[in-house]
Chain A
Amino acid sequence: MDVLEKLKILADAAKYDAACTSSGLERKGTGFAMGSSRDFGICHSFAGDGRCISLLKVLLTNCCSFDCVYCVNRRSNAARRTAFTPRELADLTWQFYRRNYIEGLFLSSAVWKSPDYTSEQMLKALEILRYEYQFGGYIHVKVIPGTSPLLVEKLGTLADRISVNIELPSSGSLQKLAPDKSKDKILLPMKQIQNKISENRQGRGRFGGIQPVGKQKELAKGTDANGLLYDGSITNITKEETDSRCLEEATPYASQQTDRNALQKPWKKGRSSFAPAGQSTQMIIGASPESDRQILRLTEGLYHQYQMKRVFYSAYIPVVEDSRLPSKETLPPLWREHRLYQADWLLRFYGFTASELLDETNPQLHPYLDPKCHWALRHPEGFPVEVNRASFDELLRVPGIGTESAYRIVRARKLCLLDWDGLKYIGVVLKRARYFLLCKGKPFPLLSRSKEDFLMAMMSPKERALFRQRERQWFQPSLFDGFTTDAPYSEKGTASVPVLDDRQKEALQCVTIPVFG
């Protein structure tokens, strides 16, 4: 098959992958034949769906011996199969890069013959790029669950970012939907990568991970193990264990290594870094019944215990019909994906914990209110806060105040007390925040506290549109009597949720709360 055909098939099969960023790593081009990396990331084009194209995102092959129900490439699906040779892939990357089409390569793959066989093919492609061509661009590689640790290590030294997909938010779903994968097979390489990365950073005297070590430990202790993925066993694999497994499994592969070693030269002198742009992972949202609460706790666990750089969510787009999956007519839960990213943001930059955002009585993120707003409405006791006295962390928790605004406030008030005009002047957007703040002890002047105004102020234009749409439907329930579906989220609300759901009622109820201030 021609490379053109292959590219068509293998890019098409890779397009649902969410993580396509090239940011987080600054590397000069000198020292390589070609290529550099910029830490802000560069978008080279935008696809028709508006997503940024930064990396050449392809599968090495779509021949798969696994049978994950949700995937088009599963072995029981009839599809055209093909594979790149490592050389073809390396040439393609090189030539695209040379023409400034891309920022680097994002290589993932289906499982061809066995995880190790496929990984060796991927490794070959990377070796050609790094050793033979001396390619300095960005490379992100996906590790297949079940790959032997030695191969993972080799991939990690050549790639800039390495990731293992966690696929589904619980081991139960994993068993049901991806029978060939298992929690161990996923967590083992993850742990190994984490150890390697931190080893490497310690070696270079640098501080690694996203949080100060002390804080990580504290948070990890605080997290309720039951809520974590795979029944709390996330920490079960110790470093010693990984290492010993490394040794056990290393032997067969290492024996073939001698001749290849002769070819290798370090693609950068003294290079010892392992995945300098860190580790990330991705899970599918909406293919299995887990609640947002479970997903967020899992996310939190991944950040704290595996020091992930990012956790990506990908809304499940039904591509196959199967009784174990939502029907093919289900719209992808894009709105839910969006909410999860917002919550993820709160976890990473705003000092929230998963259990604060969602608890047993509140297992789902609110469809009409963003997670921070929803949290604030459930905790009226914490508000209003005095702008001039609140700590930075307290300010961060006020809806409508982001890190930038909080920072500005903290610096500005060092010089003199801030009043409402002053806040406006330094560029704090008050649309939401004014309901939760006091300036010099005074609430925002002439603030309408009617239910409607308040609720509307809490919602973004999109959320408002969604809310109104539902409201209208509520008044003509007869039209939709036949439908009952428990999917409160969907992009085009028309297909689901005929009646005013609990969440909407709750949104209306919330309105009574903030008459404080």
Chain B
Amino acid sequence: MRNDTGVRMTDGLAERQFAYSYEGKELHAVIPATTPDLAYYYDGTWEGWLCCVGESYLAKEIPGVIVPQTEEDGFVEENLFYTRTIVTRTDLARRVCNGIVARIGADFLQILQRVFCSCIPDKEAQMLLFTHKGFRYGKQILYLRQDVAVKNVLKGLRDLGREVDKWWGFVRFSDVRGILVAVIGAKNHVLPFIAPHFCDRYHNETFMIFDRNHRMALLYRPGEKAIVPMEEFAIAEISEEEQRYRSLWKQYYDAIEIQPRHNETCRRTHMPKRYWDFLTEMTESEDCISAYKELK
């Protein structure tokens, strides 16, 4: 069986035995205790975070928080913390990266990369703790589900996976002069994970998916793709043809419901309200259909 981490899990039994040895409290002998009033600043990139791991490993300290911000930006509760700014260094990042692959495993690194894109609170510090434990215990750490850091990290992973599933279906493109554009608002940074699917499916098209919450966009044209930062984007004008297909879709959406069986709860569980802003069928009003008819 594969679980959501993509790592082959052994049975609960192994988990249990491991858990008992955990209860035996060897953990803190190796992993330094967390220093709650120490804060790391880093530049918010993946490499930056790897450097945090490297620095914390070298200094044998675990910061209470890690903030994706440089010191110049200012940090609100500055005086409550001792701060350290971690400078991103490619060589250190690469060393940490290699270290994780060699000592814990490539799939562990993959998990970290995915969780880094998720939106769990305080993810950097949780992941740092998780990595430290990984170094101490190896891949088995994944079975230690009662550990807070492990639990949070796995939750992040699951959250991300679920949201990726949803966006595969909920992205709505509009045709703007032959180019497909879509706006989404994801909680997690899903673009890198939905990209392969869309690039495969629409491999002859030129398209863009803009994530309003992360201010990032996935750009694709045949043979080329990129995920780039983008400040703002809005679809300026909707062509007549585009409006026509939107109305048709809305019409279809309304017609397919079996009204006597209307079930709002069920719809909301599968399609939570936060997605509705991005769904053509939920934003287009009934008027659009009549407006379209008049146009005719």
List chain A positions with a Cβ less than 8 A from chain B.
Answer: 2-4, 7-8, 11-12, 14-16, 28-30, 33-36, 38, 42-54, 56-58, 92, 95-96, 98-101, 103, 317, 332, 334, 404, 407-408, 411-412, 414-416, 422, 425-427
Q: CB distance A36 to B200 under 8 Å?
A: yes
In the complex, B101 has a CB within 8 A of chain A = no
Q: In whole angstroms, how far apart are the Cα atoms of A30 and B12 in the complex?
A: 41
In the complex, B187 has a CB within 8 A of chain A = no
List chain B positions with a Cβ less than 8 A from chain A.
Answer: 1, 11-16, 165, 168-175, 180, 182, 197-198, 200-205, 245, 247-249, 251-253, 255-267, 269-271, 279-281, 289, 292-293, 296
A409: min CB distance to chain B, Å: 9
Q: CB distance A11 to B255 under 8 Å?
A: yes
Give every chain B residue within 8 A of A422 (Cβ-Cβ). Answer: 12-13, 16
Known: A4-B293, A8-B251. A426 touches B201 (CB 8 A): no
Known: A4-B292, A53-B256, A95-B245. A33 touches B180 (CB 8 A): no
Of A3, A48, A52, which contacts B248 at CB under 8 A? A3
Q: In whole angstroms, how far apart are the Cα atoms of A53 and B296 in the complex?
A: 28
Sample of 18 more A-B contacts, CB < 8 Å, known A8-B255, A15-B257, A48-B257:
A14-B256, A15-B256, A29-B201, A34-B205, A45-B281, A47-B267, A48-B263, A49-B258, A50-B270, A57-B256, A98-B173, A98-B180, A98-B205, A99-B180, A99-B249, A317-B258, A404-B1, A415-B13
Give every chain A residue within 8 A of B245 (Cβ-Cβ). Answer: 95-96, 99
Instruction: List 15 A-B residue pairs with CB atoms under 8 Å apart, sorted by A's residue number.
Output: A34-B201, A36-B201, A38-B197, A44-B170, A46-B267, A48-B264, A49-B257, A49-B258, A50-B269, A51-B258, A96-B252, A103-B169, A404-B1, A411-B11, A414-B11
Q: CB distance B172 to A99 under 8 Å?
A: yes
Q: In whole angstroms, how far apart are the Cα atoms of A49 and B170 in the complex?
A: 18
Q: CB distance A416 to B200 under 8 Å?
A: no
B181: min CB distance to chain A, Å: 10
B206: min CB distance to chain A, Å: 12
In this complex, which of A33, A43, A414, A427 has the most chain B Cβ atoms within 10 angstroms of its Cβ?
A: A43
Q: In whole angstroms, how far apart are the Cα atoms of A115 and B18 in the complex?
A: 65
| Minimum-distance CB pairs A-B, first 7 | A50-B266, A426-B12, A11-B255, A50-B263, A48-B257, A412-B11, A29-B200
Known: A4-B292, A99-B249. A45 touches B271 (CB 8 A): yes
Closest to A134 in B: B204
Q: What number of A-B contacts does a CB cutoff of 8 Å give?
A: 154
Closest to A91 in B: B245
Q: CB distance A45 to B279 under 8 Å?
A: yes
Q: In whole angstroms, how far apart are the Cα atoms of A28 and B197 in the complex?
A: 9
Give every chain A residue within 8 A of B175 (Cβ-Cβ). Answer: 98-99
Q: CB distance A50 to B203 under 8 Å?
A: no
Q: CB distance A11 to B252 under 8 Å?
A: yes
Q: In whole angstroms, how far apart are the Cα atoms of A47 and B261 in the complex?
A: 10
A131: min CB distance to chain B, Å: 16
Known: A3-B248, A48-B267. A412 touches B255 (CB 8 A): no
Give every chain B residue within 8 A of A47 (Cβ-Cβ). Answer: 253, 256-258, 267
A114: min CB distance to chain B, Å: 27
Q: In whole angstroms, how far apart are the Cα atoms of A101 and B200 in the complex?
A: 16
Give every chain A residue within 8 A of B262 (Cβ-Cβ). Answer: 48-49
Q: In whole angstroms, how far apart are the Cα atoms of A414 and B261 in the complex?
A: 48
Q: CB distance B16 to A101 under 8 Å?
A: no
Of B12, B14, B16, B200, which contacts A28 at CB under 8 A? B200
Give every chain B residue within 8 A of A49 (Cβ-Cβ). Answer: 257-259, 261-263, 266-267
Q: CB distance A7 to B255 under 8 Å?
A: yes
Q: CB distance A50 to B172 under 8 Å?
A: no
Q: In whole angstroms, how far apart are the Cα atoms of A14 and B289 in the complex?
A: 21
Q: In whole angstroms, how far apart are the Cα atoms of A33 and B205 in the complex?
A: 9
Q: In whole angstroms, how far apart are the Cα atoms of A174 and B201 in the complex?
A: 42
Q: In whole angstroms, how far apart are the Cα atoms of A77 and B234 in the complex?
A: 48
In this complex, which of B171, B203, B259, B270 has the most chain A Cβ atoms within 10 angstroms of its Cβ?
A: B203
Q: CB distance A33 to B204 under 8 Å?
A: yes
Q: In whole angstroms, how far apart are the Cα atoms of A427 and B15 in the complex?
A: 12
Of B13, B169, B180, B279, which contacts A412 at CB under 8 A? B13
Give every chain B residue within 8 A of A3 (Cβ-Cβ). Answer: 248
Q: In whole angstroms, how far apart are the Cα atoms of A427 and B259 in the complex?
A: 39
Q: CB distance B267 to A42 under 8 Å?
A: no
Give every chain B residue within 8 A of A98 (Cβ-Cβ). Answer: 173, 175, 180, 202, 205
Q: In whole angstroms, how far apart are the Cα atoms of A36 and B168 in the complex?
A: 12
In this complex, which of B201, B205, B248, B266 has the most chain A Cβ atoms within 10 angstroms of its Cβ?
A: B201
A327: min CB distance to chain B, Å: 16
Of B13, B170, B204, which contacts A34 at CB under 8 A? B204
Known: A96-B245, A100-B173, A411-B11. A45 touches B253 (CB 8 A): yes
